[in-house]
Structure 1
């Protein structure tokens, strides 16, 4: 399984389910929890120390929590969960508990029940929380609370996988400055949907930070060029043109042009050279070797 795939155990059989990102995993985890635990609302929130953002929600009968909503962290139940530590915080009656009865948010939930546990990064800093909420009294079993702890641990694992994958993506498509106004992005390995989107985002961010006249895209390290890969490369080329950066493509092998003929024809008007040295010469730069 590569870094873009996450597997979880479903029922008694090990079924590997592929997910594209953390959000997809989060939605699946909430759906699994909802099947086991009868509480009305389950949600995953992220906080930055100031604001509590509700990322994913699974409501059953009533919409008690809105996906995409946010509030000051200090006014949220999630903050209580973070302060409580790594064990689940269970509040059986939010209207009576000393931690919650005076909070403004409690007005919406009557004699409701809350459970929450922090989700951590591997360095033990807090990402956010995974929580359950109801406007009715709900009693949790030991198994329920153990499941919450397990899902929190699983989310930590997925966060680290996603972080590692982003680092790998950066390493396999770094933008390397060569001289003022000129940089090269060597694209290495297999181009998947997520990698292509990452490369495009990476290029746009880099170009917005540092003025760039020419960006050389070297595809000599790409495992294969097919119609899908060709479309992504064309998309990158067109985006560069729109933002005023001249694209230069290097490393296209003859067999690539033969295999995807429409790709080569679509690149008419784009500078294409065999390698980096030829590209730099085409741009008017002289490559000099230092004599010993």
Structure 2
């Protein structure tokens, strides 16, 4: 129950990956544990934990076909165990095996829910390491857990994007309504989302309506200022509407930094400044007797 509660508090995939390797390290005494991500060509080590000898370095990468991870992917969803990499026919002729006089490898693929490959979760030792059936089952369980975390992160990204959509007004003009609490991770996501859209479509003006924001802090304020600066550089004019008093209190220099930016109290006044007029049409029912 305690583990389940900790899992629920994962901030992102990176944090979950670290915790999973920590759990594996407590249960299985193999020297090196690592999680790798690949795109079909390159194998990137996302997280690594070395007990004694540093056999795998976090952040390193190499061509996928030259790695033991590729063998695990080819083997399928069940754990691939190579008791001695220096003698096994799958590994003895590989370039990477020259670093080992002997050693044990275990690898299990990590999939997204649609069965496309994310990468692998693996164990490696430069000595013979006896893996029990329970150890193999634990690796499979952790692979499944990583799949759940990947899908939760993907769903969260989609939800966060939906809470800051680009609403087109006319060609070159769009509104970005931002609603709810703005965290640092969400601010980063908004920046990526906005810049992707600007790359897809030509934008002249982007109106950011922050009237629906419930919480903000100094770190988030810096992200929003960063977004404003980037937009200016790429030729998009940012417009801010709906700034509330609590924002000025939470981020004191916010208003000062936005002196050169068009700021309006609400969307209607911003659209008027840009040359748009909101016209309410009323239709009266015609009297059939007239």
**What range is the shorter-chain TM-score in?**
0.7 to 0.9
Is 1:22 the equivalent of 2:22? no
Q: Partner of 1:70 in structure 2?
A: 61
Q: 1:75 to 1:228 in 2, by over 3 A?
A: closer
Name structure 2 gaps, 5 residues minimum: 284-290
Per-residue CA deviation, residues 38-77 of structure 1 (Å, 9 max, x unaligned), is 1111111111122221111111111111222222222221
Secondary structure of 1:38's aligned partner: coil
Is 1:56 the equivalent of 2:47? yes
Q: 1:107 to 1:171 in 2, by over 3 A?
A: same
1:9 alignment partner, one of 3, 10, 31: 3
Per-residue CA deviation, residues 9-65 of structure 1 (Å, 9 max, x unaligned), is 18xxx5467333211211221122122211111111111122221111111111111
Q: How does 1:15-164 map to 2 (within 5 A)?
A: 15=6, 18-164=9-155
- What CA distance in whole angstroms lies between the structure 1 residues aligned with 2:32 and 2:248? 54
Q: 1:124 to 1:258 in 2, by over 3 A?
A: closer
- What CA distance in whole angstroms lies between the structure 1 residues aligned with 2:145 and 2:254? 42
1:101 Cα shift? 1.7
* Superposition CA RMSD, Å: 2.5
Tell me, yes or no, if the aligned pair for 2:181 and 2:216 is still in contact at 8 Å. Answer: no
1:272 alignment partner, one of 232, 240, 263: 263
Q: How many residue pairs end up in the alignment?
A: 283
Name structure 1 gaps, 5 residues minimum: 1-6
1:226 Cα shift? 5.7
Is 1:222 the equivalent of 2:216? no
Is 1:197 the equivalent of 2:188? yes
1:257 Cα shift? 6.0
Structure number with larger C-alpha Rg: 2
- State the TM-score, normalizing by the size of structure 2: 0.87
Tell me, yes or no, if the aligned pair for 1:8 and 1:17 is still in contact at 8 Å. Answer: no
